[in-house]
Structure 1
Amino acid sequence: MAIWFHRIFLLLLVSSCASSDFLENPDFESPPLNLSSNASSGAFVLLDQNTTLPGWTFQGTVQYVTSPDLPDSGHAVQLGEDGKINQTFIAKGDDLNYILTFALIPGGENCSSSSGLSVSGPDSNSVFSYKQNYSKVPWQSYSHNLGKWGNGEPINLVLESQAIDSDTNSTCWPIVDTLLIKTVGVTLDQDSANLLTNGGFESGPGFLPNSTEGVLIDAVPSLIQSALTQWSVIGTVRYIDSEHFHVPEGKAAIEILADTTPSGIQTATRDTSEGSRYNLTFTLGDANDACIGHFVVGVEAGSAAQNFTLESNGTGSGEKFGLVFVADKAAAQISFTSYSVTMTKEDVLCGPVIDEVIVHPLSGTASLKPTWLLLVLALLYVAVL
């Protein structure tokens, strides 16, 4: 019964997070209008005041890119110095978070630095930059939570380049492609068997249709602003799907990517009582992405802290672990942190997979054992008589 209920809950959770088409020309496959005849044949076409990019307005240095190496094997835009594009779309439905996923590509070769990409909504902003060793393909998928909006409200999405190095002549300006907006319910269906919300990580950013690399989620200290519902992020993690990776349960899980500093995720329980004992269980494994190594994951729950280890052969393993803790407050903190820097043979960062995180009162579980023990003893006593 418990397994059946848990799977029905996952189905409800996934259905509440359906993706919708909000943006016009999100993959830039509709070409700019009013281009000169000789300009359209180039791989990079500079847009000017006489050019119209369907669905988008732009300022500064913006180039239309044509290349077979892009995620959709077609077109994208490069935001050069002071380059900016924006589009306003209308929210549909109430109590929904709008989560953006997009492809980011470095825009040059032999550059001294890569510029950042600023992504913002009306009250949210984050800066992203292409990171070496996070993907085996020449682009990366990132996510950003645009926030909660009510039905009919306008949301202005703005993407602009942000120089990191003062020498702009040797900067790789970002290329952006394939934007996807996914709506996620602010209030998710709660699993009564689990005191954590989204413990199975089924609610998170959308996966781009032509990407096999998952979605990177950079550090987000706030649960409200995170693209991973009800979890904050330390460092960088990868949101992975069951279609391209080994996921222990459901459709999605988290792979923690520790680089020069530890990375991880953190959340808080609901409805816990200070001083009461609880049991935390989770699955620790690998994503079947050739990640071979010795994983060390530090787990903190309430007043307890413990390291867990797993020897990974990179072929999709998984093992359940548990930790008993005492709630030190009404909402006990739960965190998973990886200290192991692990890379594949292709020099791509990888790491431990976390899934099926469940917290339940220990008293409820423990009370069953004496009851069954007394029943067995009673039956034995009757049999002897």
Structure 2
Amino acid sequence: MAPNARHAALLLLVVCLAAGAASAIQDGMLPNGNFEEAPPKSQLNGTRVTGRNAIPRWEISGYVEYIRSDQKQGDMILPVPEGAAAVRLGNDASIQQRLALTRGAHYSITFSAARTCAQAEQLNVTAAPESDILPIQTVYTSSGWDSYSWAFEATASSVSLIIHNPGVTEDAACGPMIDLFAIKALQPPQSSKNNLLKNGDFEEGPYFFPSTQYGVLVPPMDEDDFSPLSPWMVMSSTKSVKYVDAAHHAVPHGARAVELVSGMETALVQNVSTVPGLPCRLQFSVGDAGNACAGSMAVQAYAGRGSVKVPYQSKGKGGYKRGVLDFTAIADQTRVVFVSMAYNMKPDGTLCGPVVDDVSLVCTRNHPARRLLL
């Protein structure tokens, strides 16, 4: 091959590789993630979508309905969280989209879901080989719609995101409604000499929809799962914690915090490397999100063999206090745990709870003098 031809071929290869890298999906709404691009009328039988690729950018399987904002289920109007349309997954139905990602990177998916039937409902979220069942039976908002997050590692440069309703009922259409799908690349948080905990201020987490004021739920997970609040884990059987932002809530520090909305049924946990025998100090903020969640609150913190209960009397208008736990590390790994010790509700009857933020852990031979709680 002539030198000029080789140069042209090399240049074409570089351009193609750069185009491939640039095509990796960006943070924000997935293509047609709000389902505003409707199926052709020819591929709708009433509300049921009949064509596998009828919903632009998505592929469906099973009993899938395209629900407009004024749609009725019997005498009940099915609400849509934003825009004009959403999708309902009936018996054993699924919807999927192929995503161009960076192999080895961690991503968080945020989406909205609502129950439409009386029985327990759940969603199976998959980005192979990662797959988890998300419980959506508990409703945390007065509208019935909650935003959920789920994280995974991209094992290839092209991954199928699949949302599946594993339920089968007598009413084939019965199942969750879904809407507003977004993605965010997660940056690996780091520890420092001033804080052995990673992501102690909760600034790294899932995508927030700017128009959604109810926060994002982080559901329970197995210990080997990837967390949207990495490396924090949510330990529970069916309940979640809520990730809140300063744009819509009172946050003690920075732009993000965690609201413990499920009482003693849920624990926020992180494992951290420590040196046995060293004295340690865990410090953190406990407050309220300024979301009308008023009343007596309390957060119990555990680390090593130590624990401390931090009470907080909320007026539902924001505010916080500092908590301190001094303990001695007893192993080369210490589990830090936060649990809400009360069940709280807002005036509209939805679950709420204390906010935890600005968490730090320092272990040193030059242990600071013990101080009272601020």
Task: Bin the TM-score by the shorter chain.
Answer: 0.7 to 0.9
Q: Out of 275-284 and 170-179, give the one that drifted further.
A: 170-179
User: Which of residues 240, 250, 253 is equivalent to 2:254?
Assistant: 250
Q: 1:128 & 1:188 partners in 2: Cα distance?
A: 25
Matched residue SS, 1:168: coil
Q: 1:358 & 1:149 partners in 2: Cα distance?
A: 30
Write the deviation string for residues 333-356 of structure 1: whole angstroms up to 9, x where unpaired. Answer: 111011211101110101111001
Kindly state the Cα deviation for residue 132 of structure 1 after the two structures are TM-superposed. 4.4
Q: 1:338 & 1:115 partners in 2: Cα distance?
A: 25
The residue that corresponds to 1:333 in the other structure is: 335
The residue that corresponds to 1:3 in the other structure is: none
The residue that corresponds to 2:217 in the other structure is: 216
Kindly state the Cα deviation for residue 137 of structure 1 after the two structures are TM-superposed. 2.0
The one-letter code of the counterpart of 2:199 is: N
Change (3 A) 1:50 1:328: closer
Within-5 A mapping of 1:43-192: 45-49=47-51, 52-67=54-69, 69-92=79-102, 95-107=104-116, 111-145=117-151, 147-149=152-154, 153-163=157-167, 167-169=169-171, 172-185=174-187, 187-192=188-193
The residue that corresponds to 1:226 in the other structure is: 227
The one-letter code of the counterpart of 1:161 is: N
Within-5 A mapping of 1:242-281: 242-259=246-263, 261-270=264-273, 272-281=274-283
Matched residue SS, 1:36: helix
Kindly state the Cα deviation for residue 241 of structure 1 after the two structures are TM-superposed. 0.5
Write the deviation string for residues 280-309 of structure 1: whole angstroms up to 9, x where unpaired. Answer: 100010111111122122211112122221
* Amino-acid identity (%): 28
Change (3 A) 1:36 1:97: same
Write the deviation string for residues 190-235 of structure 1: whole angstroms up to 9, x where unpaired. Answer: 4431110000011111112321100111111326522111011023
Write the deviation string for residues 118-162 of structure 1: whole angstroms up to 9, x where unpaired. Answer: 1111022222343444112231001111x2226x61111111112
Change (3 A) 1:133 1:77: closer
Q: 1:19 & 1:274 partners in 2: Cα distance?
A: 43
Q: 1:206 & 1:181 partners in 2: Cα distance?
A: 7
Note if contact 1:114-1:174 (Cα within 8 Å) is conserved in structure 2.
Answer: no
Q: 2:248 & 2:321 partners in 1: Cα distance?
A: 20
Note if contact 1:113-1:172 (Cα within 8 Å) is conserved in structure 2.
Answer: no
Q: 1:361 & 1:50 partners in 2: Cα distance?
A: 57
Q: 2:28 & 2:212 partners in 1: Cα distance?
A: 18
Q: 2:309 & 2:51 partners in 1: Cα distance?
A: 58
Matched residue SS, 1:118: strand
Q: 1:28 & 1:155 partners in 2: Cα distance?
A: 20
The one-letter code of the counterpart of 1:29 is: E
Matched residue SS, 2:171: helix
Determine if the alignment matches structure 1 residue 31 to structure 2 residue 41: no
The one-letter code of the counterpart of 2:140 is: Y
The residue that corresponds to 2:352 in the other structure is: 350
Kindly state the Cα deviation for residue 52 of structure 1 after the two structures are TM-superposed. 1.7
Write the deviation string for residues 236-287 of structure 1: whole angstroms up to 9, x where unpaired. Answer: 210000111111111110000225x5222010223x2111101110001011
Give the number of equivalent residue pairs.
336
Q: 2:300 & 2:268 partners in 1: Cα distance?
A: 11
Q: 1:353 & 1:366 partners in 2: Cα distance?
A: 26
Q: 1:101 & 1:117 partners in 2: Cα distance?
A: 13
Change (3 A) 1:182 1:171: same
TM-score of the superposed pair, with normalisation by structure 2: 0.83
Note if contact 1:22-1:90 (Cα within 8 Å) is conserved in structure 2.
Answer: no
Matched residue SS, 2:289: coil
TM-score of the superposed pair, with normalisation by structure 1: 0.81
The residue that corresponds to 2:241 in the other structure is: 237
The residue that corresponds to 1:10 in the other structure is: none
Q: 1:19 & 1:318 partners in 2: Cα distance?
A: 35
Note if contact 1:115-1:172 (Cα within 8 Å) is conserved in structure 2.
Answer: no
Kindly state the Cα deviation for residue 173 of structure 1 after the two structures are TM-superposed. 1.0
Kindly state the Cα deviation for residue 22 of structure 1 after the two structures are TM-superposed. 7.5
Write the deviation string for residues 163-184 of structure 1: whole angstroms up to 9, x where unpaired. Answer: 1xx6432984111101011101
Q: CA RMSD in A?
A: 2.6
User: Which of residues 279, 284, 287 is equivalent to 1:285?
Assistant: 287
Q: 2:29 & 2:343 partners in 1: Cα distance?
A: 38
The one-letter code of the counterpart of 1:116 is: Q
Q: 1:112 & 1:344 partners in 2: Cα distance?
A: 23
